[in-house]
Amino acid sequence: MTESGWTKLGLIAGGGDLPLEILRAQAGKPVFVVVLKGFADRDYGGADSVSLSVGEIGGIIKALRGAGCDAICFAGYVTRPDLKSLKMDARGLIMVPRALAAGRKGDDAVIRVVVDEFERAGFAVVGADSLLGQDGLPAGCLGDAAAVEAHRDDAGKAMMVAAEIGRLDIGQGAVVAGGVVLAVEAQEGTNAMLERVAGLPAPIRGDASRRLGVLAKRPKPIQERRVDLPTIGVGTVERCAAAGLAGIVLEADGALIVDRAGVEGALKRHGLFVLIEPPE
């Protein structure tokens, strides 16, 4: 089964807007939604769907097959679940030792274990970017293109730091302002990191009247890009603005922009930019 040769999509929905956006982008085509209990936090009432726990791997596979799906897309946030309180079926239980072993290597290793299981069950795994028509996000700039030059050094250093952080499997993001690394993302996620930057002492960061600093997000080298591409949305832009930053830098083909029109509106409102750079 290739990425393009499938007939019906199973959308495995975690938290946030991304799964809904994919559902909208696939309007008119047959989509079956697996609503992940405890993670999916949007209303999928209008869609053909089933609600299951992330530990019910056997149940999810059975439901997908029953609905006639031959492809799946993982979309939305899923954090590391608590194995003790997680509802699991037999197939989920069988995966536990492998997932635990992988867990010591990092999040990407766990994701790979789960993806392998679905591929072995015969499903094509399709990336959210291709379903959103963002296959290969092109290099370029959104928002205040004129501001990019003044912040190019920070963008370059933030991308370098994000690359090193990714190489070490720590996380996807970093914030650099005036040459200084203000924050590095690990398990807390991008939003918490941006809120932390907003809380730093005023002298080392920017504000609405004097924007300073750039957020970089890029995939880890070992990352399963079909499942866990760096993603930004309107909330990311709003948090960057609140933290006094001047912009965001992403890697072409290595990021996903949720609600593109909304993001462009927020960039214009705050005078921020999104720079998309060709991969090295």
Q: How far is the CB of 252 from a second copy (least distance, A)?
A: 24
> Phi/psi class of residue 61: alpha, beta or left (left: φ > 0; alpha: ψ in -120 to 50)?
alpha
CB closer to a second copy out of 139 and 184: 184
Q: How far is the CB of 75 from a second copy (least distance, A)?
A: 20
Amino acid letter for position 248: I
Cα separation values, 240 from 8, 214, 252, 261, Å: 38, 8, 20, 17
Q: How far is the CB of 105 from a second copy (least distance, A)?
A: 7
Beta-carbon neighbour count of residue 119 at 10 Å?
13
CA distance 37 to 73: 17
Closest CA to 183 of 139, 127, 125, 245: 245
CB closer to a second copy out of 63 and 162: 162
Q: How far is the CB of 193 from a second copy (least distance, A)?
A: 9
For helices 234-242 and 260-270, what crossing angle results, to 10°?
20
CB closer to a second copy out of 28 and 201: 201
How would you list the strands of the sheet with 71-75, edge to edge?
A: 49-52, 31-36, 9-13, 71-75, 124-125
Q: How far is the CB of 77 from a second copy (least distance, A)?
A: 12
Q: How far is the CB of 151 from a second copy (least distance, A)?
A: 13
Question: Token match 């920070």: residue?
Answer: 154
Q: Which residues bind a second copy (CB under 8 A)?
A: 79-83, 103-107, 161, 164-165, 168-171, 178-188, 192, 196, 199-204
Q: How far is the CB of 23 from a second copy (least distance, A)?
A: 27
- Specify the 3-state DSSP secondary structure of 216: strand
| Rg for the chain, CA atoms, rounded | 19
Beta-carbon neighbour count of residue 51 at 10 Å?
14
CB closer to a second copy out of 81 and 271: 81
CB closer to a second copy out of 24 and 167: 167
Please check whether residue 213 is in contact with residue 206, taking contact to mean a CB–CB distance below 8 angstroms. Answer: yes
Question: Token match 């405890």: residue?
Answer: 38
Please check whether residue 148 is in contact with residue 205, taking contact to mean a CB–CB distance below 8 angstroms. Answer: no
CB closer to a second copy out of 207 and 264: 207
CB closer to a second copy out of 35 and 175: 175
